[in-house]
Amino acid sequence: MAPHNLSKLTDSLDIPRAGSQPSPMPPRARRLPRPARTVPLLLIVAGGLLRPAEAVGQPAVASDLWRLAAGTLVVPPALADDGSAALWTPAVRLSPSGAGMLLAIEAIHSPSEIGINGGVASLAVRAGSFGTVNVVYGRMGVDGLVRTETSPEAIGGDIAVYNEVLSVGLARAIGSGFTAGIAARSLSGRLDIVSASQLGLDLGLRYAGASGFSFGVATRFFDPALRASESAASYSAAVSYRTAEGQAWGTTADLRFWYGAGWAHGEGMQHLLTAGLGLGGVAEVDVGAAREETAGFEVWRSRFGVSLDVGRYRVYLGRDGGVNGFGATYRFGLTAGMT
């Protein structure tokens, strides 16, 4: 974090800097009714992406909150196929033989110890020979941060910490089994009085073969001008294999396997390995393990997902097991297909 940016943050929160005389009772951030939480929590949440509001080409404040949301995906982002898939890869189109419109809503929830929550809403519409138009809106934020002095009583309102994204994209078939997509993104974020926004242009490509083999690549929050806001971008690639259908428990069944790799600014390569079981074409259970490397430390996380199709509706759940089982995050989703 640049020194002048830290200075702005400490000034806005009335935090004494090194070499200055502290006020008798300096305010600090707390989450109520939990024990006091100090300003370093705010710095961790922001992920070092804080910049002055007037800066040009800087990453949107708190854009790294979306990495927590991505952690609830049991399938690699480049091959995502649930309701919010168009947020993770632009290469998502409606099946020509399926619904002409798909509406999806998701809620993302973490425990109070973390306090990061949000949601995603998306709409996919088949646009004839042009392909599929995808519109996505999402917001992630930190709840319950307030200023306090020597008692748990809040001073003023909550400290605003959030990031939101609006995306409009187009995906279409470009050959046998191939789907390509492009999406324009607008991100904006805020941490107390510090705010910043950015624009991005993302690309995605996936292939689904008749043999059950698939692969995909995608960008997220990419700045084509390669300015400083490019540090908010991430990149993913994935492959998958789906076996032929057999019989199990009186219905059809198939096995599914995924491997995905991801890259993000300031982090090592991330890996995700997942195996799943599909039953009768209406139910699916997936389990996986993710390996991440941050600040030189290796972290393993468990992943779990389950989905059920009921008529034109689909309900699903995703779970990120957190670090060593602490701080599990959940994603609840519902999609509805319309003609």
User: Tens-of-pLDDT digits for all 339 residues of the chain?
Assistant: 333 333 333 343 343 333 344 444 444 444 444 443 433 343 343 343 333 433 445 566 788 899 899 999 999 999 999 989 999 999 999 988 788 899 999 999 998 888 899 999 999 999 988 999 999 999 999 987 777 777 777 677 778 889 999 999 999 999 889 999 999 999 999 888 888 888 899 999 999 988 999 999 999 999 887 665 667 889 999 999 999 999 999 999 999 999 999 998 777 889 999 999 999 999 999 999 999 887 778 889 999 999 999 999 999 999 999 876 678 999 999 999 987
What does the DSSP 8-state code read for residue 323?
A: B
C-beta separation of 106 from 84 below 8 A: yes
Domains of the chain: 65-338 (2.40.160.40)
Quote the distance between the C-alpha of residue 275 and its chain's center: 21
What does the pLDDT read at residue 73?
95
What does the pLDDT read at residue 228?
58
- Name every residue whose Cβ is closer than 8 Å to that of residue 83 and which is 6 or more positions away in sequence: 102, 104, 105, 106, 120, 122, 314, 316, 333, 334, 335
Residue type, 59: P
> Which of 331, 337, 322, 335 is closest to 119 using CA atoms?
331
> Which of 278, 287, 276 is closest to 249 using CA atoms?
278
Give the chain's length: 339
What does the pLDDT read at residue 196?
84
CB-CB neighbours of 339 under 10 Å: 7
pTM of the model: 0.78
What does the pLDDT read at residue 53?
38
